[in-house]
Chains A and B, each alone.
Chain A
């Protein structure tokens, strides 16, 4: 049971979707129930995974010395291409979790369930909707657990198609425009990633498989560390003939500089350049841009407000709650881990992008008249904290940016659900068309207040802890590793002030003061929260409070992995950077 937990959590929605294809389309309730059941099952599995993970994390923390270690790993050969003189190309089905990904898996399971419940309001083409939504569930969770670049890319790309149709068919008035814009932007990003992926697998070997083909390791026997070192030395000495080399997409192999074929472009030792720039730094940049579009970082963010405004509520929830995190997670898992020298070399610029996103997003939010657009821009501002924390490359900063992704996942889901509440009742989201809703919808107003305060970083809510950690990290960076200047952290606090401004102002305009709505018909339509809306909102509100008051709940999960990650990036990155820049 425990051996295949991760496969279950990835493929349960896919299998449900395939079964649903054969059910006639008019059983609408059955489809919605199936979606809720499948995602609820994912939550259950996520709880199992969490339990299993924390047990093993304690054991592992005592024994393991490596910077990265993964749990609940599953690895099977998937594709093995024999390309004669080019050697073999191996693609594995390899999944596993560490502290960096487990929190994302838990978050996705939770948000996807909420999204499935919120999908109850979908009325047209229910069959197509549910099938696409379940496909999305599979690809999102798959993305967070994949440890093979090919597998990761497959899931990453496969998110696009369901999202395109979910926005384009069930969205608002300008849905086609928003859908195609989302698709094109993200595809541009994934092409950047694809280029690096091609380069990586052309350069990286699988030491174990290569050893087996070259006769250094006997098939089936236990592999010792000495044997792997022997293979790596043979590769470094060009002693293994081309047709015996096994190239791989394994992210774990890519982490180790010794696994690179010495004359390949992406090897640290080859010191190759393109147009005068070191190839490895360019590769880092390409991956960074690819994921920055998804995050989104300013100035690559313009797809987000459109997609959010036009998407139906559940899709907005999933988009803000999880899909944006794929960008941040992808940076950590690939760009930062595989090319750590880029992380150090570009730290200042990444920090600057973070600060710009924080301030620019917040200022835009201040100017928005559409409630959903306001929340979309506040998302951009909050994702800026993720960049700033990552750029600092300190334990506090990285934990902070991971925590920010987690807490933003919870809070933004809540915010979009709340925006959906208004929109469902009146089909209008303009802030100026409402006033004094507190008297008419007191419980709704209470929820909005919780969500707004959580989002603006009030102490006691998870957003506060995350942002404090990011500030600490980026402020200390000047003394610990000299990567970020202090003024960045100081400027970023401006984001908090602006955040308070736009949220409080919105609260005042929409909810307090004299009661006013634009159309008389809305008086009847505007009712307080329904039972179903409570079932979605209350767990999220409890979660943001719980993680705000007991942040160790979260930090215990990530601590070991974060310190390993920071240690790896700073030591290996320094070494690589020296080698690359000596040329």
Chain B
């Protein structure tokens, strides 16, 4: 059995009026609107007026004006795009720097944090003379010194390794002791040469 659609209320009809007036409804919907308009002659008159006014409006070509104004956009946009790409390729280092600088900062922070969290053991007073050879150089290597200074500057700790101010005294020996040592060395050399000559 075919169902008869309920007639549109006035507010429903109003919502459909522009689409009806501009021919955007389906034939079925248009028929329903026409039937409903018979019950609302004021709205029917309004539809006619709207149609007439907008027909005139169409002839004023408001949209064509915008179309004309925007017609050169594609060329402008593409030129600007090209220019932007060139600038981007010239400034290739910018993104690299964006990554590199924070990474460097992070690394320095990590060094500082590590130094602050795990301070190196300070040797007891009596053992301070047994220090790494690198820092005992006199004068110290400027590069090594710089790195050591920078690291300790960042860590906020006093340098553990201090350049030695005096060297421990060398052991002394008499002339006889030296002569005995040289003789024993010469014997060892002769013995090893004989052993090499007798080898098959």
A binds B: no
Please give the residue numbers on chain B whose beta carbons come within 8 Å of chain A beta carbons, in ascending order: none
Please give the residue numbers on chain A whose beta carbons come within 8 Å of chain B beta carbons, in ascending order: none
